[in-house]
Amino acid sequence: MQEIATGKPYRHLKVGYFRKRHEDRKTKIPKRYSVHAALSLKGDWLEKAGFTTNTQVRVGVE
C-alpha cells in the first residue's frame, strides 16, 4: 500500500451510531428503530490521501 503525506499520520475518531428504521412491508409505517455503531470519515484530508468520491475501500479490524 502506498503512503501519501496528508499532514497528520493519525486521525482521532469517535464511534457514533445510526438509527435504522424498520417499516411494515405493506403500510410502510415505521414499526421500530434499531441503533447500530457507526464510524464517519469526512474531510479534505481523505481526498489528499487518495480517497476520491466513489472510491471503494476495504476495511480491516485488528
- pLDDT, position 10: 84
Predicted TM-score (pTM) of this structure? 0.54
Q: Which three cell numbers stand for residue 24?
A: 411494515
The C-alpha atoms of residue 61 and residue 6 are separated, in whole angstroms, by 22
Helix (H) or strand (E) holding 14: none
Q: Which three cell numbers stand for residue 10?
A: 493519525
Alpha carbons within 13 A on the beta-carbon side of 46: 11
Q: How many domains does the chain have?
A: 1
- Vertex 12: Cα angle to 11 and 15 (nearest 5): 125
- pLDDT, position 3: 56
Give the domain range for residue 49: 1-62
pLDDT tens-place values along the chain, 62 residues long: 555 566 777 888 899 999 999 999 899 898 999 999 999 988 888 888 889 999 899 989 88
